[in-house]
Amino acid sequence: MALIVGVERGFVAREAVLERLLKIAAFLDGADRFHGAWPHFLDGATGAAISFFGKYDNGGDLVETAFMIQGLLTARQYFDQENERERQLRAVINRLWESVEWGWYRKSLDSPFLYWHWSDDNGWHVDHPLIGWNETMIAYLLAIASPTHPVPASMYYSGWASQTELAREYRQNWGGTTHGERYQNGQTYYRIPLPVGVGSGGPLFFTHYSFLGFDPRHKRDRYANYFENNRAISRINHAYCVANPGNYRGYGLDCWGLTASDDHTGYLAHEATPRMDNGTISPTGALSSFPYTPQESLLALRHFYFTRGKQLWGIYGFRDAFNPTAGFVSSIFMGLNQAPIVGMIENYRSGLLWRLFMSNLEIWRALEAIGFENEDMGEGKVGNALGSA
């Protein structure tokens, strides 16, 4: 997706990115897959799975696969010219998309959940159901949208937005709170109501990864409009940093953004709660929130670049994170956090990636099957917009 933005903004030639994407697609086509899903980490030379998080992490990762498919479907729509190379790219993307066995990752035919991980020799040992609110919404949307291996649309509510006791305990355990334990939240933080989310909404990447392509504007399920919900989470994150209950150095109107990133203790998810805040600001948090908080994000951009640029800015953009209280500035530039900055700034400026991804008719049909309503078209299913997609 970031490469597509690069073409659109004239940073790199269309042909150069096309060649890169053909190489990427060919690599993915030959890499290890597990019922169509790629592992979280791949050996860049061989395409073999790397058990990065321990011996059980050696199989398909449905969530990382969903992020990849979201990007590939966006590329399929952008590279739409009728020449041999662009047709070749679309053909490979179609094959990859259609070969993901989303239904396999239900674990059983009657399971209400998708599961994160499966491997040949360890099976379902990781046993991690996908339960929202978090970054995994796109996995359910794509699983329902699949033209070849779909899951029932009812799983959006039985799995992602589950009301079961298992789901309640899952949310409560990772959030450390009962707020949002049944998916809906309904609490107010810093005078900002939050319809959906655990606690104060979680790390900001929850509002970024699934929404790089999926356009949440003017759409509502049973519980929320997710553009407005994401805006609330971003505003709460900003307000928390301004209030700065932990009295950390640097926090303020123009220095905010709590999300998962490198920090002085390793790699952690930071969020707008004292329990999950150690003074680490991640530029991607504020900057990838541009569509939701443009004024606050622009203040942060100016601060990170003009005030802290000597520390933070380098060949690949902003360093991953910094913590003035701990005297820490990350030495790395993490692609996982760089790309959403590019994609979400472009979505704020032009809606490019949203427009491309949403032009895949499979996505509109999935949203209609789930029961999303179009708020800008009066009452009616999102399928009413198929003709204009």
End-to-end CA distance of the chain, in Å?
Answer: 19
Instruction: Write the pLDDT tens digit of every residue in 133-173.
Output: 999 999 999 999 999 999 999 999 999 999 999 999 999 99
Task: Note whether 190 and 201 are within 8 A (CB).
Answer: no
Could you tell me where the DSSP H helices lie in the chain?
2-8, 14-30, 62-78, 84-98, 137-145, 155, 165-175, 226-243, 283-287, 294-302, 309-312, 335-349, 352-358, 361-370
What is the residue-averaged pLDDT of the chain?
A: 96
- Give which of 15, 17, 23, 19 is closest to 2, Cα–Cα: 17
Identify the pLDDT of residue 386: 36
CATH class of 192-346: mainly alpha
Q: What is the mean pLDDT of residues 100-105?
A: 98
Identify the pLDDT of residue 385: 39
Model confidence band, residue 388 (pLDDT cutoffs 50, 70, 90): very low
Dihedral, CA atoms, 100, 105, 106, 108, nearest 10 degrees?
Answer: 110
Residue with tokens 């409560």: 172
Task: Note whether 136 and 130 are within 8 A (CB).
Answer: yes
| 384 has pLDDT over 60 | no
This prediction's pTM: 0.96
Write the CA distances from 66 to 70, 144, 154, 212, 262, integer angstroms. 6, 12, 19, 12, 23
Identify the pLDDT of residue 194: 98
| 383 has pLDDT over 50 | no
Between 14-30 and 62-78, two packed helices, what is the crossing angle to 10 degrees? Answer: 140
| 34 has pLDDT over 90 | yes
Task: Work out the percent of the chain whose per-residue pLDDT is above 70.
Answer: 96
Distance CA 291, CA 208 (A): 10
Distance CA 99, CA 272 (A): 39
Q: What is the mean pLDDT of residues 247-255?
A: 98
Model confidence band, residue 380 (pLDDT cutoffs 50, 70, 90): low
Identify the pLDDT of residue 220: 97
Instruction: Write the pLDDT tens digit of every residue in 304-330.
Output: 999 999 999 999 999 999 999 999 999
Kindly state the tokens that stand for 255: 């220095």
Residue with tokens 């998962």: 260
Which architecture does CATH list for 1-162? Alpha/alpha barrel (1.50)
Domain with CATH 1.50.10.140 in the chain: 1-162, 192-346
Instruction: Write the pLDDT tens digit of every residue in 181-226.
Output: 999 999 999 999 999 999 999 999 999 999 999 999 999 999 999 9
Task: Work out the percent of the chain whose per-residue pLDDT is above 90.
Answer: 96
Buried b (16+ CB within 10 A) or exposed e, 328-340: bbbeeebeebbbb
- The answer for residues whose C-beta is within 8 angstroms of residue 355's C-beta and 6 or more apart is 215
Instruction: Write the pLDDT tens digit of every residue in 325-353.
Output: 999 999 999 999 999 999 999 999 999 99
Instruction: Write the pLDDT tens digit of every residue in 10-27.
Output: 999 999 999 999 999 999
Distance CA 269, CA 174 (A): 11
Distance CA 257, CA 237 (A): 7
Identify the pLDDT of residue 320: 98
Identify the pLDDT of residue 389: 37
Distance CA 105, CA 93 (A): 21
Distance CA 66, CA 89 (A): 19
Task: Note whether 206 and 292 are within 8 A (CB).
Answer: no
- Give which of 207, 256, 264 is closest to 233, Cα–Cα: 207
Beta strands 313-314 and 317-318, pairing class: antiparallel
Model confidence band, residue 375 (pLDDT cutoffs 50, 70, 90): confident
Between 294-302 and 226-243, two packed helices, what is the crossing angle to 10 degrees? Answer: 50
- Give which of 302, 265, 130 is closest to 206, Cα–Cα: 130
Kindly state the tokens that stand for 115: 């599961």
**Strand stretches in 180-223, DSSP E:** 188-189, 192-193, 219-220
Task: Note whether 117 and 61 are within 8 A (CB).
Answer: yes
Helix (H, G, I), strand (E, B) or coil at 37: strand
